[in-house]
Copies of this chain bind each other. A is one copy, B any other.
Amino acid sequence: MPRASTTSDAFNAVAEPRRRDILSFLVSQERPVNDIVMNLNLPQPSVSKHLRVLLEVGLVDVRREGRQMFYRTNADAIKPLHEWTGTFERFWRHQLARVKERAEAAEKPK
């Protein structure tokens, strides 16, 4: 069995760096495809393909206006990733405190 499809979930879709770039670019406002092409400096077919993946997993929404397609990031679809990574938060959050602990532990044996 090969790797799970990029369109199988948000985790897989987001593994591709260009797709992350696109999501970041589309987060504050909807943009036509050509805006993405210009700003991220990518070939247009490549952008269209990435957008298709993002659309399939619900990470972006589209709206047609004339011959332009306006894409926009759907932040809700990113939330699960944030929540999953967040379950590890308490294990890094007090890092400073732990560094201090370790430093103190290292002091004591003196």
Q: Give A residues with C-beta under 8 Å from B.
A: 3-4, 6, 11-12, 14-17, 20, 23-24, 27, 73, 75-76, 78-79, 81-82, 84-89, 91-92, 95
Knowing A3-B3, A11-B15 are in contact, say whether A86-B91 is a contact too (CB < 8 A).
no
A4 partner residues in chain B, CB cutoff 8 A? 15-17
Q: For the complex formed by this chain, how many copies does it contain in all?
A: 2
Could you tell me the dominant secondary structure of chain A's interface residues? helix
In the complex, which residue of chain B has the Cβ closest to the Cβ of A90? Answer: B75
B82→A78 contact, CB < 8 A: no
What are 23 A-B pairs with beta-carbon distances under 8 A? A3-B16, A4-B17, A11-B17, A11-B20, A15-B15, A27-B87, A73-B88, A75-B88, A75-B89, A75-B92, A76-B92, A76-B95, A78-B88, A78-B92, A79-B85, A79-B88, A81-B81, A81-B85, A82-B82, A82-B85, A82-B86, A82-B88, A85-B85
